[in-house]
Copies of this chain bind each other. A is one copy, B any other.
Amino acid sequence: MALPRATFLLSARDQPGLVARLAGFFYERALNIVDGSDHVEAGDEGTARFFTRLVIELDDPRLARDAIERAFGELAATFDSTWSVGYSDRPSRIAILVTKESACLYDLILRQRQGELACEIPLIIGNHATLEPVAQSFGIPFSLLPITPDTKRAQEDRMLALFASHRIDLVVLARYMQVLTDDFLRAAPPVINIHHGFLPAFQGARPYHQARARGVKIIGATAHYATIELDEGPIIEQDVARVSHQMPIDELIRVGRDIERNVLSRAVRAHLERRVVVHDGRTIVL
């Protein structure tokens, strides 16, 4: 059986000796770094930032995780840093929000069942009932929360309550066709959205129609963290496909659907693997 692993994600002001001190920290404790990557984002006059992701094998089950965390926190406090840690035996719990389109929902569930996404999916919320049978066929609870202008606030509150009761760590908008309020976004766990266009081109509604009207030769999709500015959140992943004048709009939509599901799943995977840091409106994907 695979040993549990801890993944540390740290962002610090760049300074000499960071790698040596971090690597030394684990070496002294006989903890093996099984995967690691780092990045320095250049900046002016002491604004450069250092980012690192370190995966540690926890081969001794009696290891006191809180003791390690405490000691790591003391080290991290000596640099100007923020950090977090996750454990492979405590998978994230995600809620998926949907409307009527099934492709992204299926893709997330199937990859989770396949073992490609290290998470639990205890909750699916739809503003339409269309995809309830999909949730049921996989035995996942489905909450129907239709939204009208009048009910939006109340339904968003219900969603937040559901996130709390299901201990949700991440919300995934899998072609959820509703704009969320600022209050909701401030109160919710991190939210990943899939935009069916190659941002920053084709923001807003009907991006494939926009793309066809402009005559682009390549279309795309973008997964990003949802922020208060619609379609302006930090981009986690994008992908594209070549199109031609011969493709009518429904063919663009079909090609786009394949890109969307792949891009969304890759973004969710990167987030779950604790690879993504947001810095200055952009993501560093370690």
Contact A237/B217 with A20-B24, A103-B114 known, Cβ cut-off 8 Å = yes
Q: Which residues of B sit under 8 angstroms from A239, Cβ to Cβ?
A: 218
Known A16-B30, A20-B27, A216-B199: A284·B245 in contact at CB below 8 Å: yes
With A110-B106, A245-B39, A283-B245 already in contact, the answer to whether A32 and B16 are too (CB < 8 A) is yes
The answer to the question of A208 belonging to the interface, with a C-beta cut-off of 8 Å to chain B, is no
Contacts of A281 in B (CB 8 A): 213-215
**CB < 8 Å: which of B23, B24, B238, B248 contacts A216?**
B238
- Partner of A198 from the list B36, B198, B215, B235 (CB cut-off 8 Å) is B198
Counting CB contacts under 8 A, is A181 at the interface?
no
Contacts of A36 in B (CB 8 A): 19, 38
A102 contacts partner chain B, Cβ-Cβ < 8 Å: yes
CA distance A116 to B283 in the complex (A): 27
Task: Tell whether A166 is near chain B: CB-to-CB under 8 Å.
Answer: no
Query: How far in angstroms is the closest Cβ of chain B from A38?
Result: 7
Nearest-CB residue, chain B, relative to A41: B245
Copies of this protein, total: 4
Cβ–Cβ contact B23 & A19, under 8 A: yes
A244 at the interface (CB under 8 A from B): yes
Contacts A19-B23, A40-B34 given; indicate if A285 touches B238 (C-beta within 8 A): no
User: How does the 8 Å CB contact mask read for A17-38 relative to B, with 1 for contact and 0 for none?
Assistant: 1011101101100101110111
Distance (whole angstroms) from the CB of A44 to the closest CB of chain B: 14
Are A27 and B16 within 8 A (Cβ)?
Answer: yes
**20 pairs of residues in contact across A and B, judged by CB atoms under 8 Å:** A17-B27, A19-B23, A19-B27, A19-B36, A20-B24, A20-B26, A24-B24, A39-B245, A102-B110, A103-B114, A116-B254, A199-B201, A200-B216, A213-B281, A215-B281, A215-B283, A217-B235, A218-B220, A244-B285, A245-B282
